[in-house]
A and B are shown apart, each in its own frame.
Chain A
Amino acid sequence: MRIRMLPVTTAAAMALLATSCASGGEGSSDGGSGALAGEGSGDSCVIEDPVPVGAALSLTGAAASYGESQQKGLEVAIDKIAETEGVSYDLTVEDDATDPKQGITVFEQFISQDQVSVILGPTLSNAAKTTDPIAQEESVPVLGISNTAEGITEIGDYVFRNSLTEAAVIPQTIAKAKETLGLEKVVVMYSNDDAFTESGFKAFESALESEGVEITKTLTFSKADTDFRTLLTDAKAEQPDAVVVSGLIEAAIPLVTQARQLGIDAPIIGGNGFNSPQLMVDAGEAAEGVVVGAAWNSASEGPENAEFLEAFKAKHGSDPDQFAAQAYTGLILVDQAVRAGCSGEREDIKEQLGKLKDVPTALGTFSIDENRDADHAAVVQIVEGGKFTVLD
């Protein structure tokens, strides 16, 4: 793995720049060498040249903590992939500074200068909405490793993702919560001035309906609100089996704290916004009993996850989070796709990514569905003893 700014890498980039200028800068995937097509298949596949992979991550700016996790996850994946011989990867990580405009620059550099075969990222969905069309235009496959907004894979047939959307997680959360907590009637609260939380609310609403759980009351708030006592008093009067909330973490923390202060002991089922360790840090004991669905939890089962946890801890000395797990899995999936077609060409990777089915990964048994979206089981978590544990 290399990160730009190292003198060697810069020299390599200059060389690539020269080639791309020579070839008129057009985004052909063969990069002039033609050595990306290999022989054999699967584990026996041998590709002569390293397959160039670009990762556009937010290493600085508001989303820096996510990008850092992702980078660590990719580092672990590179080590893991190196255990099997035959195919190697030349991974370039670039920082988009949590800025969609910077993301465009990074993507253009990946596509025309670095001639990468596949791009991982970018970290945030709003960046993906501006960068992924560029990759689509140039016929370069993109694998989103953390984008959860709607409309990402609709950008085009070169855009894939391995991150579960909220719409995929919520029905599983509600089904599990109903099964284990015996929900019959709930109160739903959501902030109605934010596109993410509103779509989360719709997902909750239809999931509750299909599970036959009655919504006795729907309460709305603004994403800037911090005083929820009047709403919660209203909710408490309904004596719900659970309070279902679609809100961002900023609202989640005061809401959960105030609910417990008002004596609401029912479980609080949250959307994606609640899926943050910050909840336990800032809400303290009030966070106990909060139920959140997630794409990954360190307690997830399976030997692949156990192997990932161990390798991550050994390399970085800390525990991975969901971002690291999804980034790790992203590169593993790229490796699967490359080996399946035994080719590092853009077109072949695109075709093989779409065919991924029932791959055992750290996220669980993973498939790419017909919409190029992730398909695997979500983990439903409950806060117990100050941390997320698997609800069952």
Chain B
Amino acid sequence: MQQILNGLFAGSIYALFAIGFTLVFGVLDRLNLAHSAVFTAAAFVGIELVVTGGLPIWLAIPAVLLFGAILGLIIERLAFRPLKDRHDAHFAGLISSIALGGMVIALLQARYGPDTRRFPADAFPDTAFELAGVRVTLLQIVILAVSIGLMLGLAFLVTRTRLGRGMRAVAENPHAARVLGVNVNRVTATTFAISSALGAVAGVLLALYVNSAQLTMGFNIELKGLAVIIVGGMGSLKGAMVGGLVLGLAEAFAVQYVGSSWRDVVAFGLLFGILLLRPQGMFGARRVREV
């Protein structure tokens, strides 16, 4: 039971990261590999806000959300927009986003050095609840609530609002959307902002959850994020959410039943199995894009 919860909490962070990742892919058909750099940058900035800015963690999370959104706009403007009319725009965007991500990490290293950074030990009250032999900390509940809240908010935004309609229209066919009066550039920029904001919050939550932030933290989750969106179905928001939780649970059960050395084998074996058996992912539909 405790392992299910462990998997669920870790999985909700994976899901939050992956959902931002897959949003850009679903709407714009671009893979933004600077997403993990946003994730890392947000963790460091969040720690800076709490440690030197003296902000309580409750305020730091929305501040980081805003920071992520701004970073998303910058990424779109620098790494994607100048290349969008090239015939190889997919590939060019992929490479330029790797480059931009690398620059962000280098800037972080210049600012913060190579050392691991942490929130102060008392940044978050370590209240814990015990129910039927299972321990849950307040932090874990907050993480789960924030991730699920943000994911539901995104689902609402995409399905019920004018902006969401615009996003779906762009996802379907950007040229037709423009003809129909959708401001494609604005929708694109907003999509990047939302995507990065979610990735940023995931970064702070992970830094809080594991009590450390390293420059390499993005690489690990980027691979997991890719696994999650493939398991869930490329571009599917629901798929990313469920895929994240599945990956978290798979890792937890791998440790419990197979052995700790096999954790990544099981998690990525799952990815491999899904690719072989159901290439479109759990919620992906062949050739039809979903948001």
> A257 near B: Cβ within 8 Å?
yes
Nearest Cβ in chain A — how far from B117, in angstroms? Answer: 9
Any chain A CB within 8 A of the CB of B128?
A: yes
Over the window 279-301 of chain A, the binary record of Cβ atoms lying under 8 Å from chain B Cβ atoms (1 yes, 0 no) is 00111111000000000000000
B161 near A: Cβ within 8 Å? no
At the interface, yes or no: A44 with Cβ under 8 Å from chain B? no
Stretch at the interface among A3-11, A15-23, A222-230: A222-230
Q: Mark B41-55, 1 if CB is under 8 A from A, else 0.
A: 000000000000000
Min CB–CB distance A201 → chain B (angstroms): 13
Query: Among the listed A221, A227, A263, A283, which residue makes an inter-chain contact with B210, where contact means beta carbons less than 8 Å apart?
Result: A227
Q: Mark A211-240, 1 if CB is under 8 A from B, else 0.
A: 000000001110010110111011010000
Other-chain residue from B6, B216, B255, B260 in contact with A224 (beta carbon distance below 8 A): B216
Complex formed: what's the CA distance from A219 to B9 in Å?
A: 21
Instruction: Mark out the residues of chain B between 216 and 239 whose CB falls within 8 Å of any chain A CB in the assembled complex.
Output: 216-217, 220
List residues of B (191-237) whose CB comes within 8 Å of A's CBs: 206, 209-212, 214, 216-217, 220
| Candidates B10, B135, B252; contact of A263 at CB < 8 Å | B135
**Which listed segment binds A: B20-28, B72-80, B118-126, B147-155?**
B118-126
Decide if A126 is an interface residue (CB 8 Å cutoff). no
Which chain A residues border B252 with CB–CB below 8 Å?
230
Determine the chain A residues whose CB is within 8 A of the CB of B220 once the complex forms. 224
The answer to whether A230 and B6 touch (CB under 8 A), given A219-B260, A253-B211, A254-B211, is yes
B114, A226: Cβ atoms closer than 8 Å: no
Contact of A261 among B135, B260, B263 (CB under 8 A): B135
Q: Which of B10, B210, B252 has the most CB of A within 10 A?
A: B210
If A230-B7, A263-B130 are given as contacts, then 11 extra A-B residue pairs at C-beta distance below 8 Å, sorted by A number, are A219-B260, A227-B209, A230-B10, A230-B263, A250-B116, A253-B116, A257-B211, A261-B126, A263-B128, A283-B211, A286-B121
Q: A229-B10, A257-B211, A282-B211 are in contact. Are A262 and B135 (CB under 8 A)?
A: yes
237-291 of chain B: CB within 8 A of chain A: 251-252, 255-256, 260-261, 263
A162: interface (CB < 8 Å) = no
> B260 touching A221 by the CB < 8 A rule?
yes
Residue B2, interface by CB 8 Å: yes
B261 closest partner in A (C-beta):
A220
A62 part of interface (Cβ distance < 8 Å): yes
Q: Is the CB–CB distance between A230 and B255 below 8 Å?
A: yes
Nearest-neighbour CB distance to chain A for B278, whole angstroms, equals: 26
Kindly state the separation between the CA atoms of A233 and B6 in the bound complex, as whole angstroms.
9
Contact present for A261 and B137 (CB under 8 Å): yes
Q: Does A192 sit at the interface, judged by CB under 8 A?
A: yes
- Whether B211 lies near A258 (C-beta < 8 A) is yes
Query: In the complex, what's the smallest C-beta–C-beta distance from B135 to chain A, in angstroms?
Result: 5
Do B135 and A62 touch (CB < 8 A)? Answer: no
Q: Check B128 against A283 for contact (C-beta < 8 Å).
A: no
A234 CB contacts on chain B under 8 angstroms: 3, 255-256, 260
Q: Shortest CB–CB separation between residue A259 and chain B, in angstroms?
A: 11
| B13 (CB) vs chain A CBs: closest residue | A227
CA of A319 to CA of B251, assembled, Å: 45
Interface pairs (23), CB distance under 8 Å = A219-B255, A220-B260, A226-B210, A226-B211, A227-B209, A230-B7, A230-B10, A230-B255, A230-B263, A231-B255, A234-B3, A234-B260, A253-B116, A254-B212, A261-B137, A261-B139, A262-B2, A262-B135, A263-B135, A283-B121, A284-B121, A285-B121, A286-B121
Count of A-B residue pairs with CB < 8 Å: 76
How far does the Cβ of B244 sit from chain A's closest Cβ, in whole Å?
14
Q: Is the CB of A192 within 8 A of B121?
A: no
Closest to B253 in A: A230
A250: B residues at CB distance < 8 A: 116, 212, 214
| CB <8 Å contact, B3 and A233 | yes
Which residues of chain B come closer than 8 Å to A286, judged between CB atoms? 121
Q: How far is the CB of B44 from chain A (nearest CB, A)?
A: 14
Judging by beta carbons under 8 Å apart, are B122 and A284 in contact?
yes
**Contact in complex: A230, B251 (CB < 8 Å):** yes
| Minimum Cβ distance to chain B for residue A108 (Å) | 28
A257 to chain B, nearest CB (A): 5
Bound complex: CA of A344 vs CA of B116, how far in Å?
45
- Taking CB atoms and an 8 Å cut-off, the chain A residues in 252-286 that contact chain B are 253-254, 257-258, 260-263, 281-286
Interface hits, B1-42 → A, CB 8 Å: 2-3, 6-7, 9-10
Q: Which residues of A contact B3 (CB under 8 A)?
A: 230, 233-234
CA–CA, A263 and B217, complex, Å: 26
Residues 91-123 of chain B: 1 if any A CB is under 8 Å from the residue's CB, otherwise 0? 000000000000000000000001010100110
Q: Given A250-B116, A283-B121, A284-B121: A233 and B212 within 8 A (CB)? A: no
CB distance from A176 to the nearest CB of B (A): 28
Closest 9 CB pairs of A and B: A284-B121, A226-B210, A230-B255, A229-B6, A219-B260, A230-B252, A257-B211, A254-B211, A233-B2
Give the shortest distance, in Å, between A387 (CB) and chain B (any CB). 15
Residues on the B chain within 8 Å of A224, using CB? 214, 216, 220
Closest B-chain residue to A248, C-beta based?
B116
B118: chain A residues at CB < 8 Å are 253, 282
When each residue 123-167 of chain B gets 1 if its CB lies under 8 Å from chain A and 0 otherwise, what string results? 000101010000101010000000000000000000000000000
